[in-house]
């Protein structure tokens, strides 16, 4: 068999090559670097306090389960900090069921409190029903807006002071390009991984933002994490898919592209988030508009239906 | 001829309908040969699950040969020998 070169860190035979940094890493060193990177991201963006009450969105996918494991390990050194996992059942038959079971089992194994809420309970509709309705927008648009609302609401009810999500580097770079292609520079501010303090919103943090999706998958595999294997049946509709394929090809050709796109987007983002939240005229939830995006989308669906 | 074990995780597993199989390949085969053999066996759905639609290369699939990522070896040209184990780990899953 072809012998791999030595690990850049420890000299043992390597198992993984990072083209963007030139590192070749054995499995233990690879695993260490992922945790170290998350710790650096948390520190650099001042994401957590020693006593933070962290609500973590856990979908049952590789990213959220990897982040759950790493945050749980970090929390062991901070006994006053707490993690509560939140799963949202969007109501996608045959897809979310598997993931929710996986999320529940993972939380049980790690001893993490876990709550589940659903689109049906909160909004009276499942994603299957939304997907089958006459509508103007892609399913992912509805799902993204409703999930953000559901997570914020659940985190607020749990009195969490941070809402962590497991967006990885690929997610961030894709969002950056999507915003650019839509000419929406204001939304670049949402890429800020440390989040913003805004009345009514639990501060959102993205500690996994410097972990490429490829490495997230490798980490989950090496940690023997059981994670959801199926992609969402509605994902093919999303413009994000085209961007994902494009960025993957560019990364292969020009390693480091995803980091560059994301870092550049952060430079373009408004440096301060100056919007002040009011309350939605319809539901009373915090919003920067008169009617929140959730109510706008739900009203559109009702009118079309 | 050589016998290799192929394990699949994620979309590749769903597309192949199995998580593990044994393949018989020529003795001078490489990783690319294994992928082609699998595509011939499992068809277009499987091909679309492991290869990028434009470049027809596995940019969103991590391929491990005996636990070592093939990008750390000779990529698709890495030789495969009798008794080797290959893992196809899809990068994009649900979640």
Domain borders along chain B are 2-90
CA nearest to A61 within chain B: B95
Q: How confident is the model at residue A43 (pLDDT cuts 50, 70, 90)?
A: very high
Instruction: Give percent of chain B above pLDDT 90.
Output: 80
CB nearest to B69's CB, from A16, A59, A232 = A16
Please give the Cα distance from B76 to B84 (Å, whole number).
15
Distance from CA of A248 to the nearest CA of B (A): 6
Instruction: Give percent of chain A above pLDDT 70.
Output: 96
* Beta bridge partner(s), residue A164: A56, A205
CB-based contact A14 B68, cutoff 8 Å: yes
User: Does the structure show a pLDDT above 60 at B94?
Assistant: no
Cβ burial A159-180 (10 Å sphere, 16+ → b, else e)? ebbbbbbbbbbbbbbbbbbbbb
* Beta bridge partner(s), residue A223: none
CB-based contact A221 B79, cutoff 8 Å: no
- Helix H or strand E segment including A149: helix A139-157
The domain in which residue A261 lies consists of: 28-278
CB-based contact B90 A27, cutoff 8 Å: no
Hey, what long-range contacts does A256-259 have (CB within 8 A, 24 or more apart)? A256/A20, A257/A173, A258/A169, A258/A170, A258/A173, A258/A212, A259/A20, A259/A169, A259/A173, A259/A210
The count of other CB atoms within 10 Å of the CB of residue A121 is 11
Instruction: Mark which residues 63-82 of B lie under 8 Å from A by CB.
Output: 64-69, 71-74, 78-79, 81
Q: How confident is the model at residue B95 (pLDDT cuts 50, 70, 90)?
A: very low
Q: B7 — contact with chain A (CB < 8 Å)?
A: no
Q: Which of A140, A144, A265, A246 is nearest to B53 (CA)?
A: A246
Least confident of A7-21, A32-46, A175-189: A175-189
Domain B2-90 = CATH 3.40.640.10: no
pLDDT single digits (tens) A237-276: 667 888 998 999 999 999 999 999 999 999 887 765 555 6
CB nearest to A99's CB, from B74, B89, B94 = B94
CB-based contact B72 A14, cutoff 8 Å: yes
Q: Are A57 and A150 in contact (CB under 8 A)?
A: no
Query: Domain tally for chain A?
Result: 1
Identify the CATH number of the domain in which residue A82 sits. Answer: 3.40.50.620
Beta strands in chain A (DSSP E): 16-17, 24-25, 53-57, 82-89, 113-118, 162-164, 203-205, 278-279, 286-287
Considering the domain boundaries, does residue A230 fall inside one?
yes
CB nearest to A229's CB, from B14, B57, B84 = B14
Locus of tokens 């960025």: A247
Interface A–B counts its CB contacts (< 8 A) at: 102
Instruction: Give percent of chain A above pLDDT 90.
Output: 72
pLDDT single digits (tens) B44-63: 999 999 998 888 889 889 99
Question: How does strand A82-89 pair with strand A113-118?
Answer: parallel
DSSP string, A234-255: TGGG-HHHHHHHHHHHHHHHST
pTM for this predicted structure: 0.94
Q: B54 — contact with chain A (CB < 8 Å)?
A: yes
pLDDT single digits (tens) A120-152: 999 999 999 999 999 888 898 899 999 999 999
Query: Which whole-number Å values give the CA distances from A226 to A39, A198, A268, B7, in the listed order?
Result: 23, 35, 38, 15
Task: Give me the mean pLDDT over the A275-292 stretch.
Answer: 83
């Amino acid at each position: 068999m072809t012998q791999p070169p030595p690990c850049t860190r420890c000299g043992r035979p390597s198992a993984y090559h990072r083209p963007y940094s030139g590192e070749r890493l054995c499995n233990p060193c690879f695993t260490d670097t992922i945790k170290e990177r998350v710790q650096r991201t948390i520190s650099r963006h001042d994401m957590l306090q020693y006593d933070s009450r962290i609500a973590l969105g856990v979908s049952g996918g590789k990213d959220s389960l990897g982040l759950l494991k790493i945050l749980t390990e970090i929390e062991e050194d901070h006994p006053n900090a707490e993690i509560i996992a939140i799963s949202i059942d969007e109501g996608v038959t045959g897809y979310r069921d598997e993931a929710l079971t996986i999320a529940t089992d993972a939380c049980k194994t790690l001893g993490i409190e876990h709550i589940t809420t659903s689109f049906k309970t909160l909004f009276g509709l499942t994603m299957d029903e939304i997907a089958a309705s006459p509508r103007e927008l892609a399913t992912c648009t509805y799902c993204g807006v409703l999930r953000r609302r559901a997570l914020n609401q659940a985190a607020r009810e749990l009195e969490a002071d941070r809402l962590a999500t497991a967006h990885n580097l690929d997610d961030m770079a894709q969002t950056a390009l999507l915003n650019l292609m839509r000419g929406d520079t204001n939304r670049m501010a949402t890429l800020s991984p440390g989040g913003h303090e805004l009345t009514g919103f639990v501060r959102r943090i993205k500690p996994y933002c410097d972990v490429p999706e490829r490495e997230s998958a490798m980490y989950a595999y090496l940690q023997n994490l059981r994670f959801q294997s199926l992609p969402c049946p509605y994902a093919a509709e999303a413009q994000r898919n085209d961007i994902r394929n494009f960025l993957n090809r560019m990364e292969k050709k020009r390693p480091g592209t995803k980091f560059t796109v994301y870092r550049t987007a952060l430079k373009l983002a408004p440096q301060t988030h100056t919007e002040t939240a009011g309350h939605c005229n319809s539901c009373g939830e915090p919003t920067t508009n008169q009617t929140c995006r959730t109510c706008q989308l739900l009203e559109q669906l009702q009118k079309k239906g | 001829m050589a016998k290799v074990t192929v394990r699949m995780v994620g979309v590749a597993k769903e597309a192949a309908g199995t998580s593990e199989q044994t393949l018989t390949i020529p003795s001078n085969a490489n990783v690319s040969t294994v992928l082609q053999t699998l595509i011939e066996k499992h068809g277009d759905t499987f091909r679309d699950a492991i290869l990028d639609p434009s470049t027809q290369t596995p940019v969103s699939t991590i391929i491990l040969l005996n636990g070592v990522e093939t990008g750390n070896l000779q990529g698709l040209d890495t030789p495969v020998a009798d008794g080797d184990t290959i893992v196809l780990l899809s990068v994009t899953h649900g979640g």
